Structure 1
Amino acid sequence: MTDVSQRAALTPRHLTRTGERLSFLYLERCTVHRDANAITATDAEGTTHIPSATIGTLLLGPGTRITHQAMSVLGETGAAVAWVGEHAVRYYASGRALTRSSALMEAQALQWANPRTRLTVARQMYRLRFPDEDPAGLTRRELLGREGKRVKDCYRTHAARTGITWKGRRYTPGDFTSGDTVNQAITAAAQCMYGIAHAVVTSLGCSPALGFVHSGHELSFVLDIADLYKTDIGIPTAFDTAAHSDEDIGSRTRRALRDRINETSLLDRCVNDIKRLLLPDNTTPTATADDRDLVTLQSDHGHHLASGINHDGPDHDYPDHLW
């Protein structure tokens, strides 16, 4: 195995774009290690090599162990890692962003810091979810009420379509089996969508915590983004899976959701939606800016100065006046 300390750090030019990655990979009852820039999964049947730069989210199920070197390469390649319990209890950890630019993070903070623009983004999110309705002028309470009604209608619609008896959304946090088959499928789909959204948000360099609809949690923005695709992808997939059989509902929902995500190019869509929400004037950062470590110093009137230089002025001993 290659000596990790002797390898140069990866740059965005070496990595797979977020929209081109595998949405998520689920592993259980194996040991995850590293071999060069791949991760390996070893179980009783042997060892499988997986290119780490192609993974959006790695879901580690029961019985998994992961080494420091494996986490190191996953962090370098920007993959999100989620530990998954048998009852859908998760602890999230994220890798380094695929971009070296802070443009999207700064745009997110700017939109979030002003209550008016924060509400504008929340309305745009509602419009993305329900394009047949104009949320202009709606207050936050009105947005939440209408969103709740639309989600209830979505449950009833897909229950009728699939022939499932729907008794309402039932889920006890920490107890995956507390609901019926379709509720378990909805929970499994939702948890996977959270992992995927977390991977995209962090890969773009955004803050998972600065939400526009959700608030007060370290993953508020992740929940915002995951909810954009709840009625379009998550809920329909859950009902389709539950209608087919009640056997092994969690893993079958994950497989069906992964297929649906690939069919709809959801990762590309998610990237574009985030940029559209945070950069309304379409000032998307250029690939050149994203691919290099460019650090500047903030000055007055919005000007930026070169970093690594002592701005007190030239020094006879050090004419280039570097720090």
Structure 2
Amino acid sequence: MSTVGKRSLSSPRELTRVGDRISFLYLERCTVHRDDNAITATDADGVTHIPSATLGTLLLGPGTRVTHQAMALLGESGAAVIWVGEHGVRFYSGGRALTRSSGLLEAQATAWANRRTRVEVARAMYRMRFPDEDPAGRTRDELLRMEGRRVKECYRRESARTGVPWVRRDYHRNDFSAGDAPNQGITAAAQCMYGVAHAVVAALGCSPGLGFVHSGHERSFVLDIADLYKTEIAIPAAFDAAAAGEDDVPTRTRRALRDRINETGLLERCADDIKKLLRYPQLTAKQAAFSDEDADKVGLQTDSGHLLAGGRNYGDEPIW
């Protein structure tokens, strides 16, 4: 019997916009399967149906098993799927874009490939994070020092607000439990924010690896985007979770972070911020002609910089 799917691939118009999706869903100790256009989570308490098209990111924790059919549906729906280890200290992800256009990816690559525009985007990122401090003309080294000071200030401010003692950021890669409560919360919040940012980056068709502040990692751009909301959303959620007690800090952090993401409309804001950073609304006429996200358009590049329509033979036609 053939296992080739008979259902046609959904168009972007048929898929839920990333800005309208649930931020993330965490599952553990269950089997994830598929039932029509929903995924199911089966555990000792029974079967829970989850509409796949509403998910931004699915976090699969310890004890989870997932079927091929479930992954096929999640991939078609454009949801990011992340396997996280105990306490969320491992990160694996996948997913497909919700767009058929390469416009944003080309805008990202164009800005990244030029040293001047790359630092301009980095400055714009810092301007979003710290609007009261003008990064114009700052070098990369100055931007990094500025970020370091502001993040330390955020730790001290959240410690004073919540009453949670704070010493320093202390992340133990191979021993999550070695960190104190606020450090565990910050690590858990960071992993969730990476998942959310990766879901938006993948949904928009951007490259996770072409970063403007971070570099050299397969998720450099994901780290860039997640950091935009670190001091505003992630760190406060971690300190709130730590203030409630030292037990089960990662779970409380995820819940607090989920609430903050939904309250602030972060998914839609994140998509808009990426487009603004890459100056996507200011594309050239050539790019704009091929930026329809709802259609499969493949152009052919000419030496003069024009895009010709694909699917035609130009053997006997002039190419300008």
- Length-normalised TM-score, structure 1: 0.93
Residues 107, 280 of structure 2: 8 Å contact kept: no
More deviation in 297-306 or 263-272? Answer: 297-306
Residues 17 and 281 of structure 1: CA distance in aligned 2, closer, same or farther (over 3 Å) = closer
Does 2:237 align with 1:237?
A: yes
Is this contact kept in 1: 2:101–2:290, CA < 8 A? no
Shift of 1:164: 1.4
Match of 1:176 in 2: 176
Shift of 1:90: 2.1
SS in 2 for 1:133: coil
1:293 corresponding residue in structure 2: 296
Q: Which residue of 2 aligns with 1:278?
A: 278
Task: Name which of structure 1's ranges 83-92 and 160-169 shifts more when overlaid on structure 2.
Answer: 83-92
CA distance in 1, matches of 2:160, 2:288: 45
1:10 has 2:13 as partner: no
* Partner SS, residue 101 of structure 2: coil
**1:312-323 map, 5 Å:** 312-313=315-316
Q: What CA distance in whole angstroms lies between the structure 1 residues aligned with 2:54 and 2:35?
A: 15
Question: Aligned partners of 1:165, 1:44: CA distance in 2, in Å?
Answer: 39
1:321 counterpart residue number: none
What letter corresponds to residue 179 of structure 1 in structure 2? Answer: G
2:131 maps to amino acid: P
In the other structure, the counterpart of 2:36 is 36
| Aligned twin of 2:124 | 124
Q: Distance in 2 between matches of 1:282 and 1:174?
A: 45
1:3-37: per-residue Cα shift (whole Å, max 9, x none)? 87121111111111000000000000011111112
4+ residue runs of structure 1 moved beyond 6 angstroms? 284-288
Does the 8 Å CA contact 2:91/2:191 hold for their aligned counterparts?
Answer: no
Q: Does 1:307 align with 2:310?
A: yes
- In the TM superposition, what is the alpha-carbon distance from 1:168 to its structure 2 partner? 0.5
Letter in 2 for 1:256: A
**Structure 1 unmatched ranges of 5 or more:** 315-323
2:75 aligned with 1:75, yes or no? yes
Q: Which moved more, 1:188-197 or 1:280-289?
A: 280-289
> Is this contact kept in 1: 2:125–2:228, CA < 8 A?
yes
1:117 aligned partner, one-letter code: T
Matched residues in 2 for 1:50 and 1:265: separation? 21
**Per-residue deviation at 1:313?**
1.7
CA RMSD of aligned residues (A): 1.7
Counterpart amino acid of 1:214?
H
Paired residue total: 312
Describe the superposition over 1:276-316 as per-residue Cα deviations: whole angstroms up to 9, x where unpaired: 000165449699810111111111222001112221127xx
Match of 2:24 in 1: 24
Report the secondary structure of 2:91's partner residue: strand
Greater alpha carbon shift after TM alignment, 274-283 vs 31-40:
274-283
Identity %: 68
In structure 2, what is the Cα distance between the partners aligned to 1:32 and 1:84? 15
Q: Is the 8 A contact 2:18 2:267 kept in 1?
A: yes
> Following the alignment from structure 1 to structure 2, what is the Cα–Cα distance between the partners of residues 136 and 248?
42
For structure 2, which runs of at least 5 residues remain unmatched after alignment? none
Q: Residue type matched to 2:303 in 1?
A: D
- CA change 1:288–1:103 in 2 (3 A) is closer
Q: Per the alignment, in what secondary structure is the counterpart of residue 47 of structure 1?
A: strand
- Once the two structures are superposed, residues 192-251 of structure 1 have per-residue CA deviations (whole angstroms, 9 ceiling, x without a partner) of 000000000000000000000000000000000000000000001111111122221111
Give the counterpart letter for 1:298 in structure 2.
Q
Shift of 1:275: 0.2
Give the structure-2-normalised TM-score.
0.94
1:319 maps to what in 2?
Answer: none
Over 3 Å counting, the alpha-carbon distance change for 1:41 and 1:285 in structure 2 is farther
CA deviations on 1:36-67 (whole Å, 9 max, x unpaired) are 12111111111111111100000000000001
Q: Render the CA deviation track for 1:128-161: whole Å, top value 9, x for unaligned.
A: 0000010001000000001000000100011011
Of 261-270 and 280-289, the range deviating more from structure 2: 280-289
